[in-house]
Structure 1
Amino acid sequence: MFLPVNIDEMRSLGWECLDIILISGDAYIDHPSFGAAIIGKYLVSKGFKVGIIAQPDTLSNTDFQKLPAPRLFVGISSGNVDSMVNNYTASKKPRRSDDYSEGGAGGKRPDRAVIVYANKAKENFKGVPVVIGGIEASLRRVAHYDYWSDKVRRSILADSKADILVFGQGERTILKIAQELKAGKSAGQLRDLRGTAFIAGKTENLTDKYKYEQLPSFEEVISDKEMFIKAEKVIHSVTNPFLDTGLVQETNGRQIVINPPVLPDDHLDEFYDLEFENKPHPMYKEPIPAYEMIRNSITIHRGCFGGCSFCSIAQHQGSFIQSRSEASIVKDAMKLKSKSVTDLGGPSANMYRMRGRDLEKCMKCVRLSCLFPKLCPNLDTSHKKLIKLYDTVKEHKRVFINSGIRHELALLDKEYMRAVAGEFTSGLLKIAPEHTEADILRLMLKPDIIRYEEFVKLFRQYSKKEQYVLPYLISAFPGATLDTAKKMSAYLKIYNIKVEQVQDFIPLPMTIAACMYYTEKNFFTGEKIYVAKSYKEREEHRKLMQWWKK
């Protein structure tokens, strides 16, 4: 079944009312790769009646009135992507297309979608609690630097006036909220749930279940960059959920309270084994690019312990790897109509089932990365379970790994390198060294470029046919000068590396790299660094990386 998108579909299911409405900035694709679908289907499996409003027109109330007001709450997300990243290029120019919309058409997702949808929900469903979540809300739960307005903005809770913010992996948290509201509690009474944030009165007492770190106030971080850096350091020191530490930030005379993240979930099969249609809702007549891209790929885990300074995964899914069972993954593979699985992976392609040998040590750890500057000696880096997974899926489908491999991690397991290069690459493998210069790689928390060179050499050695490795690179990263860009350009020329697409750096909220971009200081040493901010200079950086284009 599809989640109902209008009253007729709701009644065809035998439902006379709804418990929950989900509003999403994506087209509705009933597939576990899309947040609204997996949240909605999980709630339905637990007995709740859930409808969905996908990409509503916010210039009128018509789309918001296609379903009756829900009894429990309205859940809101911008979709699988942040609306500002989705709507604008790195140079802040409007994008013409949207891969998550029918026909790839742009303009169907408003800027700052969570805030806009929340306001429309309050207008159309008066008195119904509003719960916000997804990547856009998750990374704006505290005061944050906003690249698109070039200023520090307060928590999205204050601007959306939502009752509860859910951050990180939300399935079990959302279920708990639904159960508590159904039991008669008010949204204002739900103050102790992990993975949630809310606004409290200045003198309100907080739960004694957790410890709380006091952040510099919103008023302090907007007026003093040193205080902004201080806040970011505290935020990144408590991402480990086992520390049981939340955050409090005074904002406009009230408190933004952020409870600790959810604990790692070792039962992901419960979500992915739900019944999905695995296709877009039939109301769409044209293809949806995002679906076409992932329709033959399978998510095998969540989380990433790489800790790259430009990446938001640790602040969203966490750094503990949470893996699906082999049986669940194989079942998904067998459902595919295609003869091939085009990608088996997650935030990273090669962290499946990896974790610390001694969990007690992991539970106390405050490292930003398990890989940088040196490999954590407690980390079990064996790829045996991953190789076994490839081999098992291969009994039913051809398997290809196209991207996402952490190359410095793969180098630690020659059997994995031999398997990927020899059997599981279709001809082109994309790897992310991100840069070539050592000083920039240190700021990125990425390994020296020699690790990439070693990976390419070994990959070629183990390849049984002609195939290639193509690097992902980021231009104009904080700390990179024009001279730095010229050095990278020279490196690419020497190795005749012709990169078609270059990712111009975008400072994502709540990332260390965004802090460095805004403050123009090295997050780790406090030293001043150069940051290319003008469109003209950023363009020069990119052109130098694409040296072969005339």
Structure 2
Amino acid sequence: MESQFIPTTPEEVRRRGWKNLDVILISGDSYIDSPLIGSAVIARVLEKDGYKVGIIAQPDIHGPADITRLGEPNLFWGVTGGSVDSMVANYNASRRKRHKDDYTPGGENNRRPDRAVITYCNLIRRYFKDSAPILLGGIEASLRRVPHYDYWSDSIRRSILFDARADYLLYGMADQSVLDFAECMDKGADPSGLRGLCFISKEPPSDSQNYEQLPPYESVVADPYTFARMFQTFYQNNDPLTAKGLYQLHGDRYLVHNPPAPYATQAELDAVYELPYQRAQHPYYEQQGPVKALETIRFSINSHHGCYGECNFCAIAVHEGRTVRWRSQDSIMDEAEALADLPDFKGYIFDVGGPTANMYGYECGLKLEKGACSDKRCIYPIVCPGLKPDHSQHLELLRKLRHIPGVKKVFVGSGLRYDLILADQKHGEEYLKELTEHHVSGQLKVAPEHSQDKVLNKMGKPGHAALLEFKERFDHLSRKAGLRQYLTYYLIAAHPGCSEADMRKLKDFASHELHISPEQVQIFTPLPSTYSALMYYTEMDPFTGEKLFVEKDMGKKEKQKRILTEKKPR
């Protein structure tokens, strides 16, 4: 029986009876046909709507063999750097080359080029001189759609549309807006009015009342304060219910940034996850070696999109959005039953979650009606009373999942916000009890990031009191259930505002309060289009304008990490 992967070879195209393709997607990841892989989702969504789609994964950039093997698409090329920004995938926080890549066959980091989106666009232009339009998407394009601080060149780079010389960019999740774009291309219509779209224009938008002008790129590069002002305007215009469009001069041309596309409805989300994913690596690439990412995502379930955490160092707010949208329980149950039917399923679902696992099933009613607040956040510095955390739906879902025939264990592998559990007066204790007894695989991930209030303030994270209360409850419930299990803490060194003295205090806190010698410690990486990257570049607090200590010496960053991880001599 022929596999039903999206075609990646000419033979597969011919077997389907097609002479050519409507859309060809280029990805920095190996082709894993999974609902947790963006290029696979976009391909399946387009396929469902009747478009002939092909995927070329990790093409060789040194010659024409890969990029030309499927010919030229009728409608457009879709280019993504993959599931991770290519510079993050290729370099660690010390700017050293990573040797491993979980999305590359064999695990060796030798197939994803630096600045993959730009490189792949250049590759297309080299071998297809008058090509079909090039559309950018995925997290690398989404986070670099406006001028942004780039840590690896230590500079403000212009919108990736200009550097890639692409025609259009769809930002955010784009699983619905890509259909609108494809329809425009199919009908020969102008897509420039589509929400969620960015493009380059010789003129500013004619509908100036619904657009706000950003300072010119040249002004942003020249002055950190202007860059900070630009970023604030950009960040505040990311909610589909309230956002204006944006436009900005780059030289003598304009970047036009249309307002965000509407968030997918629950029915639309469910439909995306019902598509016929093979939940495997395409055989063409599998013969080159397995991908490590598949070990986890093959038996994991994505329950929702978005996050209202808005941590300053995290890119989710400007990519997935600050409003949480969740799938129906029936849709998730159907997916779990499909996993249980797979021949190599051993009874373990490794994760049911999203950016943060326990944000499933509840949102602020005011936000759903009027959009995210411009003057406050949902859970920082405290959990907003308007949010009303309610873990009952996630609790009910987990109970249903663990009773599916063939399922032995359902783990919650995504991180948790413990402050939300503590704030849920009705169901928080019951949720934590069942989580502790049934859904922890020995270790439960939490991300306090630090212990010192002045650093946590710059991160947009809660104080350490909530962590200690949660730890006490978790340890008590684990002992009561007769289980030896622990909390795993993610911590960050060298975030803006953090000094060596702060790391020593964190070391003492970890030793005396958490009773651990930390191992899960990362040196802070300034991700494009995040508040923390803005702090790193400008060396000021964007909310107060105050000067901020930022450690930029690489050796001293490493020292901050060592302060936390070095074992004390006995």
Q: TM class, shorter-chain normalised?
A: over 0.9
Quote the Cα distance in structure 1 between the aligned partners of 2:33 and 2:328. 22
Q: 1:282 to 1:212 in 2, by over 3 A?
A: same
Instruction: Report the more deviating stretch, 264-273 or 373-382.
Output: 373-382
Q: Distance in 1 between matches of 2:458 and 2:320?
A: 22
Q: Aligned-pair distance for 1:298?
A: 0.6
1:118 and 2:121 are equivalent in the alignment? yes
Give distance in 1, aligned partners of 2:243 and 2:529: 20
Which secondary structure state, in structure 2, belongs to the residue aligned with residue 411 of structure 1? Answer: helix
Q: 2-side partners of 1:488 and 1:244: how far apart? A: 39
Paired residue for 1:93? 96
Picking from 539, 545, 548, the partner of 2:564 is 545
1:112-142 CA-to-partner distances (Å, cap 9, x unmatched) read 0000101111222333100001000000011
Number of the residue aligned with 2:415: 404
| Structure 1 SS opposite 2:352 | strand
CA distance in 2, matches of 1:338, 1:216: 55
Instruction: Determine whether 1:489 maps to 2:507.
Output: yes
8 A contact 1:193–1:259 mirrored in 2: yes
Shift of residue 360 of structure 1? 6.2
Give ranges in structure 1 of 5+ residues lacking alignment. Answer: none
**Is the Cα–Cα contact under 8 Å of residues 296 and 338 in structure 1 kept in the other structure?**
no
| One-letter code aligned to 1:498 | S
Partner SS state of residue 456, structure 1: helix
Measure how far apart 1:410 and its partner are.
Answer: 1.4
Distance 1:74 1:408 in 2: 43
The match for 1:526 is 545
Relative distance call for 1:360 and 1:74 in structure 2 (3 A) is: closer
2:48 matches 1:45: yes
Show the counterpart of 2:529: 510
Counterpart position of 2:235: 236
Partners of 2:489 and 2:520 within 8 A in 1: no
Contact 2:310 2:377 in 1 (8 A): yes
Tell me the CA shift for residue 422 of structure 1: 2.2
Matched, 1:480 2:513: no
Aligned 1:318-333 pairs, distance under 5 A: 318-333=321-336
Q: Secondary structure at the match of 2:371?
A: helix
Contact 2:354 2:414 in 1 (8 A): no
Name the CA distance, whole Å, in 2 between partners of 1:112 and 1:197. 19
Alignment deviations for residues 248-269 of structure 1 (CA, whole Å, 9 cap, x no partner) = 1211121111111122212201
Equivalent residues of 2:242, 2:370 under 8 A apart:
no
Aligned partners of 1:431 and 1:469 also within 8 Å: yes
What letter is aligned with 2:51?
A: F
Q: Distance in 1 between matches of 2:240 and 2:228?
A: 22
- What is the aligned partner in structure 1 of residue 342 from structure 2? none
Distance in 2 (CA, whole Å) between partners of 1:71 and 1:402 is 41
Q: How does 1:150-549 map to 2 (within 5 A)?
A: 150-185=154-189, 189-201=190-202, 203-207=203-207, 211-266=210-265, 267-283=268-284, 284-285=286-287, 286-336=289-339, 337-359=345-367, 362-363=370-371, 365-367=373-375, 369-396=377-404, 397=407, 398-412=409-423, 413-463=428-478, 464=481, 465-495=483-513, 496-548=515-567
The letter for the 2-side match of 1:271 is V
- Give SS of 2:467's match: helix
Question: Which has the higher mean CA deviation after the structures are superposed, 146-155 or 403-412?
Answer: 403-412
Letter of the structure 1 residue corresponding to residue 78 of structure 2: G
Q: Per the alignment, in what secondary structure is the counterpart of residue 63 of structure 1? A: coil
Question: Contact 2:311–2:460 (CA<8 Å) still a contact in 1?
Answer: yes
Distance, in Å, in 1 between the alignment partners of 2:204 and 2:175 is 28
Q: Residues 42 and 247 of structure 1: is their aligned pair in 2 closer, same or farther, counting only changes over 3 Å?
A: same
Q: TM-score, normalised by structure 1?
A: 0.97
Distance 2:186 2:376 in 1: 39
Question: What SS is found at the alignment partner of 1:358?
Answer: helix
Structure 2: tracts of 5 or more residues without a match? 340-344
Contact 2:32 2:40 in 1 (8 A): yes
Does the aligned pair in 2 maintain the 1:218–1:251 contact within 8 Å? yes
Work out the CA distance in 1 between the residues paired with 2:97 and 2:484: 39
Q: How has the CA–CA distance of structure 1 residues 309 and 364 changed in structure 2, closer, same or farther, with 3 Å as cutoff?
A: closer
Shift of 1:327: 1.1
Q: In structure 1, give the amino acid aligned to 2:281.
A: P
Report SS of the residue matched to 1:453.
helix
Task: State the one-letter code of the partner of 2:430.
Answer: E
Deviation at 1:367, TM superposition (A): 4.5
The one-letter code sitting in structure 1 at the alignment partner of 2:502 is T
- Percent identical among aligned pairs is 41
Amino acid at match of 2:318: Q
Distance in 1, Cα, partners of 2:377 & 2:567: 35
For 1:339 and 1:497, the matched residues in 2 are separated by 32
Matches of 2:368 and 2:556, distance apart in 1 = 48
Structure-1 separation of matches of 2:85 and 2:205: 33
Kindly indicate whether the alpha-carbon contact (under 8 Å) linking 1:199 and 1:257 is maintained by their aligned counterparts in 2: yes
Give the superposition deviation at 1:78.
0.3
The residue type paired with residue 373 of structure 1 is: P
Q: Compared with structure 1, are the counterparts of its residues 122 and 367 closer, same or farther at alpha carbon in structure 2 (3 Å cutoff)? A: farther
Q: Size of the alignment, in residue pairs?
A: 545
How much does 1:549 deviate?
A: 6.9
Cα distance in 2 for residues equivalent to 1:455 and 1:361: 32
Contact map agreement 1:307 1:368 (CA 8 A) in 2: no
Bigger shift: residues 440-449 or 418-427:
418-427
| SS class of match (2:433) | helix
1:380 positional shift: 3.0
SS of residue in 1 equivalent to 2:400 = helix
Aligned mates of 1:417, 1:385 — CA distance in 2: 13
- Partners of 2:145 and 2:355 in 1: how far apart? 21
Q: Match of 1:142?
A: 146
Tell me if the contact between 2:443 and 2:485 (Cα under 8 Å) persists in the aligned partners.
yes
Would the aligned equivalents of 1:122 and 1:130 in 2 still touch at CA under 8 Å?
no
Residue 73 of structure 1 corresponds to 76
Cα RMSD (Å) = 1.4
Secondary structure of the residue aligned to 2:359 is coil
Deviation at 1:232, TM superposition (A): 1.2
| 1:301 positional shift | 0.3
2:493–2:560 contact (8 Å) kept in structure 1: yes
Q: Which moved more, 1:489-498 or 1:303-312?
A: 489-498
Letter in 2 for 1:520: E
The answer as to whether partners of 2:205 and 2:256 remain within 8 angstroms in 1 is no
CA distance in 2, matches of 1:440, 1:52: 44
C-alpha distance in 2 between matches for 1:82 and 1:141? 13
Question: Counterpart of 2:197 in structure 1: which amino acid?
Answer: T
**Secondary structure at 1:59 match in 2:** coil
Over 3 Å counting, the alpha-carbon distance change for 1:364 and 1:438 in structure 2 is closer
The TM-score normalised by the length of structure 2 is: 0.93
What SS is found at the alignment partner of 2:365?
coil
Q: What corresponds to 2:25 in structure 1?
A: 22
Tell me the distance in 2 between the aligned counterparts of 1:196 and 1:422.
46
